[in-house]
């Protein structure tokens, strides 16, 4: 039993670099509860008592000497493990097919069809866009929802409800006077630059989204660019100016609409495909803006969702709300 104690300490230490279990057993709050010596608890107390006295002594010894020794040992062990990992992986790399070879296992009929069939089957001249939103569309649906899950989690963590809302996590706006959010007229250079850069990044983001089927980019990169534009706007001119067109309500509407439209489009596409029904989707003109069939609306939906999420992250971090 005691060996196990030491062993489990070692394990927990090896994983986190701290001793956990003993400390928990001996935490003052629990002790208080066991020590309430009612007849009903006596069995429990007797069970724990013998073990605890030994455990306490061992723990105090550990806390005096053990921690240092194990900390050093742990560092050495961790470095050793990491070097072993790198070594093993390097050995693996040496046995892999050569870099850039045209007859590697990865070059087979799958990517061939993605390239050769891109224009006819998906209508997109950018094979990557065709692949991620048409051939393997299901993965990308999951990916869009990963971002959504993260946005919800961050919102749950950082959104401040109630009266403290406006000031965010920074309790008193006057205290952080240099803070740009609360002092919008801070930096002339930034504002002048933003005047040019904000519209530019919007336009460029839109361009990347709309041309995602025929040039590099697509929903995610274009959306991130647009999101960066909104963030820049609020950095340079303060949140109040962004809130004029982008508040929490708009955020929720846009995000829900985009994700629902995306899921419905994907569901339609998958349902039709799986049941072998001909879907009446016009693939458009390859190379033009209206091309790629469903890829264009999907890109637009994803783009706006990503832009919203990126700004949402920033706003939540800076002021605890949208």
Partner 1 sequence: MPEFLENLFTNYYETGAVVIFGIGFTSLLMHRNLLKKIIGLNFMDSGLYLFLAAKGYIAGRLAPIITDGDADPTKYVNPIPTGLVLTGIVVSVSVTAFLLALTCRLYDKYHTLDIDEITNLARKERD
Partner 2 sequence: MEFVRNFPFLTIVFSLTCGVFCAVTRGKTAKRLCVCWLTLTFAMSLSVLIYTLRTDGSFIYRMGKWNAPWGNEIRVGPLEALMATAFSGVMVLSLSGGMSHIFADCEEGKVNIYFTMAALLTSSLFALIYTNDLFTAYVFVEINTIASCALVMLKSSGRTLVATTRYLIMSLLGSGLFLLGVVILYGITGELLMESIAEKVQDIFSTGEYSLPLTVVIGLMSVGLAVKSALFPFHSWLPDAHGSATASSSAILSGLVLKGYIIVLIKIFYRVFGLRVIVAERVSNFLFVYGILAMICGSVAALRQVDLKRMLAYSSIAQVGYIYVGLGMHSEAGMVAACVQILAHAITKPMLFCSAGGFMDVSGGQKSMAAITGAGRRDKLAGAAFTVGAMSMIGIPFFAGFATKLALAQGAVGSDKIRMTIALAAIVISTVLNAVYYVPVIFNIFSGTEGSEKAPRPKVGYVFAMGTFMVLNVAFGLFTQQITDVVRRGLQLFGM
Partner 3 sequence: MTLFEGLLLAFLIICAISVSVTRNLLESIIIYMGFSLIMSVIWLTLEAPDLAITEAAVGAGVTSLLFFATLKKIHAIKAEDAKQKDEEEKHEK
CA–CA separation, 32 and 52 (whole Å):
14
- Angle at CA 142, nearest 5°, toward 149 and 207? 95
Map the footprint of partner 2 across residues 235-274, applying CB under 8 A: 252, 255-256, 259-260, 263-264, 266-267, 269-274
Residue 237 CB, nearest approach to partner 2 (Å): 28
Of 143 and 243, CB closest to partner 2:
143
Binding track over 207-246 against partner 1, x by CB under 8 A = -------xxx-x-x--------------------------
Binds 115: which of partner 3, partner 1, partner 2, none (CB < 5-8 Å by kind)? partner 1
Of the CA atoms within 13 Å of residue 272, those in its CB half-sphere come to 13
Binds 8: which of partner 3, partner 2, partner 1, none (CB < 5-8 Å by kind)? partner 2
Tell me if 172 contacts partner 1 by CB under 8 A: no
Map the footprint of partner 2 across residues 20-39, applying CB under 8 A: 20-21, 24-25, 30, 33-34, 36, 38
Binds 1: which of partner 1, partner 3, partner 2, none (CB < 5-8 Å by kind)? partner 2
Query: How many chain residues touch partner 1 (CB under 8 A)?
Result: 72
CA distances from residue 100 to 90, 180, 270, 283 in whole angstroms, order as listed: 18, 48, 35, 33
Interface pick for partner 1 out of 143, 179, 187, 248 (rule CB under 8 A): 143
CA neighbor of 41 nearest in space, from 30, 57, 56, 53: 30
Interface pick for partner 2 out of 150, 175, 193, 203 (rule CB under 8 A): 150
Chain Cα centroid distance, residue 280? 36
Tell me if 137 contacts partner 3 by CB under 8 A: no
Map the footprint of partner 3 across residues 216-235, applying CB under 8 A: 216-218, 220-221, 224-225, 227-228, 231
Position of tokens 């869009």? 144
CA–CA separation, 118 and 307 (whole Å):
27
CB atoms within 10 A of CB 268: 13
CB atoms within 10 A of CB 228: 20
Of 29 and 46, CB closest to partner 1:
29
In this structure, what are the phi and psi dihedrals at residue 291, rounded to the nearest 5 degrees?
-150, 165
Position of tokens 């093993």? 88
Binds 275: which of partner 2, partner 1, partner 3, none (CB < 5-8 Å by kind)? partner 2
- Length in residues, the chain: 322
């Amino acid at each position: 039993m005691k060996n196990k104690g030491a062993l489990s300490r070692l394990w927990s230490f090896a994983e986190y670099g701290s001793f956990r279990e003993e400390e928990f057993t001996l935490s003052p709050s629990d002790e208080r509860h066991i020590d309430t010596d009612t007849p009903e608890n006596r069995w429990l107390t007797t069970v724990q008592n013998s073990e605890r006295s030994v455990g306490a002594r061992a723990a105090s010894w550990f806390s005096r000497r053990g921690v240092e020794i194990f900390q050093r040992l742990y560092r050495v062990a961790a470095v050793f493990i990491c070097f072993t990992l790198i070594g093993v992986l390097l050995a693996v790399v040496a046995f892999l097919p050569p870099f850039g070879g045209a007859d590697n296992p990865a070059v087979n009929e799958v990517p061939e069809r993605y390239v050769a069939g891109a224009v006819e089957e998906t209508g997109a001249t950018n094979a990557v866009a065709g692949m991620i939103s048409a051939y393997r569309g299901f993965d990308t649906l999951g990916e869009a929802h990963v971002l959504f899950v993260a946005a919800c989690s961050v919102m749950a963590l950082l959104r401040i409800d109630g009266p403290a809302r406006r000031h965010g996590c920074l309790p008193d706006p006057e205290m952080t006077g240099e803070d740009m959010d609360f002092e919008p007229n801070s930096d002339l250079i930034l504002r002048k630059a933003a005047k040019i850069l904000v519209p530019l990044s919007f336009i460029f983001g839109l361009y990347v989204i709309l041309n995602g089927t025929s040039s590099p980019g697509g929903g995610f990169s274009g959306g991130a660019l647009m999101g960066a534009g909104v963030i820049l706007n609020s950095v340079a001119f303060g949140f109040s100016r962004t809130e004029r067109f982008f508040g929490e309500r708009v955020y929720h509407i846009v995000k829900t609409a985009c994700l629902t439209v995306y899921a419905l489009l994907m569901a339609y596409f998958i349902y039709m495909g799986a049941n072998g029904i001909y879907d009446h989707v016009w693939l458009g003109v390859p190379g033009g803006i209206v091309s790629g069939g469903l890829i264009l609306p999907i890109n637009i939906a994803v783009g706006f969702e990503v832009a919203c999420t990126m700004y949402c992250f920033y706003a939540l971090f800076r002021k605890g709300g949208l």
